[in-house]
Every structure is written in structure tokens, then in C-alpha cells.
């Protein structure tokens, strides 16, 4: 389809006459607020992210406030959103902007994309919404709309596909109103051209949509990669002595980086509780056989993008502090609520 002029005309007309999708950051021009909303929404549904966004802006209304915040408090507010590398990058970028750029948010796409955690989509969103620069956004909604309307069967996650869609998006964008265009196409994908049960009947693109007219709606867009999920089994030890529990931060390059956790023994399968309490790994960690297990939880589970975590919580009382716990913090039970834990642990603590 060589003539693509129709796309912008139909999209803008729909946006002007029919689009009533409301979001608190819609029309926002403050690059800091746009940045916060986009980072939160990278892996989070709008409904879930809204409260987090509002709390973030209320607590740290500008980049200098965020840069000067206690990191633990930032992670605590982020608790429950998952994908904690986003939070880590947010803190690092806030400090960079505050320290190196005098608190002034970069105003060019080429500089915005250098911020940690900011990719082409987020950089384009900030550049267009805050500074009116003609950079087209490419998120799941946009891939889906363009793939279906123009009948593109090249996988969206292939090198060729990413290049083709990027070129098409840049060709279609309204150079005079890039912010309005970007918001409109994302809204159209979210409201009309939905992943499941799109509203094809009554869609203003119906006559032009190649996918609709060739029964390809349920097939497009195409992805070439299927995520293979890893299964992991966590056994958490709530080791207690003198009414205090031992906790530490996760520092290794793995999930939940910088969040707190209890002593952990990971196994390659879910082991019956009675067997686990006699295991070499447990006895070696505690350095004694004289401990008491007062409680064993039911099995908890959390699904992440690339893996599923399953496991139990064991309440352990010890007579002496094992040497392996010297690098753990020793906190009272009431203090646990102040620490940022992964959802897997908070789900148990809140039950």
C-alpha cells in the first residue's frame, strides 16, 4: 500500500471526535513527570501504575527531590511494581540529571536516550510530549496497529521488523503535532485495535485494514521468539533470635536486585518440608542441628516474565548466631514492614 496519507487523516479524525481515553498524565509537558509515568508503565498496566505514579509525584515532585531521596524509601514506594531494575535506573538517572546537568532534564532525543533505563520508545515519548520533537513512539499498541492496518507479516521482534516498523512510524508521524499523533495511535491500539477482541466493527480503518479484509486480525502482529520460562524453588528461612529476624539485601545480578530477603536456600525442585529440615544445605547454613522450626508455610508462587518462583517459608529459632549470618541485618518484626521486599515475600508477610 503505497499511499499512506489516509492513515494520519483517519487517526486524527478519530482522536478528535471519538477518543475519550482519560489518563492523568495525558497532555503533560513536564519531562520529569512524563519520564516517571513512562518508566512505571514499561512493564505495568495503567490501572496498577496510576497510584504509584501519583505517590511518586507527590513524594518527589521534581528530579532533584528524587535524586536526594533515601534509596531505601524509593524502593519501598516501588514495592509491588516488580522489575526492580527500573527503580534502580530511575535513581541513577535522577542523580545524573541532578549532579551533572544541574537538575535540568535533557531536551533532545539523543541525550534523553542516554539515560539509564530509557530506550527508543521512552525517549521518543519524552521528546515528543515534552519538547514537540517528531520522534514516533513504538510500543506494543503501535506495533499492533501498524501490523494489522498495513498487513505486515514480518515479526515485530526481528531485526528486519524493528527497522521496518521504525521507518514506517517515522514516515506516518504528524510532524506538526507529534505529541498528539503519538498519543492518538497508542490510545487507538489500547481502545480499538486491542490484542484480544479488537473492535473491528465500527473501526474507522475497517475498509483500509489489510488484516481485517484478509482475516489476519488474530494472526497479526507476528512474534518470532517465544519466551521459555524457568522454574525456580526458593526456601526462605525466617531465622529468629531474641525476637529479631535476620534479613539482607539482594546484591547479585539476579531478580529483585537491592530488595531485602530472608536467608535463602534455592533448590532444583520443591522438597517436602520434613526432608528439607534435615538437608545438608540447611544444617550447613545454620551450623548446628539444635534449632527449632516453629512453622512451615504453604507453597507460594509468583510468575515473572521469564521465570516462575515457587517455595515456602520456614520459621526457625536458633540458640546461637551462625557465622554465616554476620552480614545480615537483625531487625524486630515490626520493622520488617519498613523494608522493601519482593512481592513473593510481602504476600506471605501480609497473610
What is the full DSSP assignment across 46-68? HHHHHHHHHHHHHH--SHHHHHT
DSSP 320: S
User: How, if at all, do strands 291-296 and 300-303 pair?
Assistant: unpaired
- Which cell goes with 196? 484480544
Q: Which residue bears the cell 540458640? A: 319
Annotated catalytic residue within 38, 281, 288, 335: 38
263 near 247, Cβ under 8 Å?
no
The answer to whether 148 touches 216, Cβ cutoff 8 Å, is yes
Rounded CA separation 261/349 (Å):
11
- Give me the phi and psi of 216, to 5 degrees please: -115, 5
| CA 156 to chain centroid | 20
What residues form DSSP beta bridges with 263?
A: 237
Distance (Å, whole) CA 117 – CA 122:
9
DSSP secondary structure letters along 234-303: EEEEEEEETTEEEEEE--SSSTTTT-EEEEEEEESS---HHHHTT-HHHHHHHT-S-EEEEEE---EEEE
Query: Considering only CA atoms, which of 71, 116, 94 is closest in space to residue 340?
Result: 71
Does 38 qualify as catalytic in the annotation?
yes
**Region of residue 258 (phi > 0: left; psi between -120 and 50: alpha; otherwise: beta):** left
- Among residues 292, 288, 234, which one has the least CA distance to residue 263? 234
First-residue to last-residue Cα distance in the chain: 57
- Locate the DSSP E strands across 137-250: 230-241, 244-249
Half-sphere exposure of 163 (CA within 13 A, CB side): 3
Report the half-sphere exposure of 285 (CA within 13 A, side-chain side). Answer: 20
Task: List residues with catalytic annotation.
Answer: 38
Amino acid at each position: 500500500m503505497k499511499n499512506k496519507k489516509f492513515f494520519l487523516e483517519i487517526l486524527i479524525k478519530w482522536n478528535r471526535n471519538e477518543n475519550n481515553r482519560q489518563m492523568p498524565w495525558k497532555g503533560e509537558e513536564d519531562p520529569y513527570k512524563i519520564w516517571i509515568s513512562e518508566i512505571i508503565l514499561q512493564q505495568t498496566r495503567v490501572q496498577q501504575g496510576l497510584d504509584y505514579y501519583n505517590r511518586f509525584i507527590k513524594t518527589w515532585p521534581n528530579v532533584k527531590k528524587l535524586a536526594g531521596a533515601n534509596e531505601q524509601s524509593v524502593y519501598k514506594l516501588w514495592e509491588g511494581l516488580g522489575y526492580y531494575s527500573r527503580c534502580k535506573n530511575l535513581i541513577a538517572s535522577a542523580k545524573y540529571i541532578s549532579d551533572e546537568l544541574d537538575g535540568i532534564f535533557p531536551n533532545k532525543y539523543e541525550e534523553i536516550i542516554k539515560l539509564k533505563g530509557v530506550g527508543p520508545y521512552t525517549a521518543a515519548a519524552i521528546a515528543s510530549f515534552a519538547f514537540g520533537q517528531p520522534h514516533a513512539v513504538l510500543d506494543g499498541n503501535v506495533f499492533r496497529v501498524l501490523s494489522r492496518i498495513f498487513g505486515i507479516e514480518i515479526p515485530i521482534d526481528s531485526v528486519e521488523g524493528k527497522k521496518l516498523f521504525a521507518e514506517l512510524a517515522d514516515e506516518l508521524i504528524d510532524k506538526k503535532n507529534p505529541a498528539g499523533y503519538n498519543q492518538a495511535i497508542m490510545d487507538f491500539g489500547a481502545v480499538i485495535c486491542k490484542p484480544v477482541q479488537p473492535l473491528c466493527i465500527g473501526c474507522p480503518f475497517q475498509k483500509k485494514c489489510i488484516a481485517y479484509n484478509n482475516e489476519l486480525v488474530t494472526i497479526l502482529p507476528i512474534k518470532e521468539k517465544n519466551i521459555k520460562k524457568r522454574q525456580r524453588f526458593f526456601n526462605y528461612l525466617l531465622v529468629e533470635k531474641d525476637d529479631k529476624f535476620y534479613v539482607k539485601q539482594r546484591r547479585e545480578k539476579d531478580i529483585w536486585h537491592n530488595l531485602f530477603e530472608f536467608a535463602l536456600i534455592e533448590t532444583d525442585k520443591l522438597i517436602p518440608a520434613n526432608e528439607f529440615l534435615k538437608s545438608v544445605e540447611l544444617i550447613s547454613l545454620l551450623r548446628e542441628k539444635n534449632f527449632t522450626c516453629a512453622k512451615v508455610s504453604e507453597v507460594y508462587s509468583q510468575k515473572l516474565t521469564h521465570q516462575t518462583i515457587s517455595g515456602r517459608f520456614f520459621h526457625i529459632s536458633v540458640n546461637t548466631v551462625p557465622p554465616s549470618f554476620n552480614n545480615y541485618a537483625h531487625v524486630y518484626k515490626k520493622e520488617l514492614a519498613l523494608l522493601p521486599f519482593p512481592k513473593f515475600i510481602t504476600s506471605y508477610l501480609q497473610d
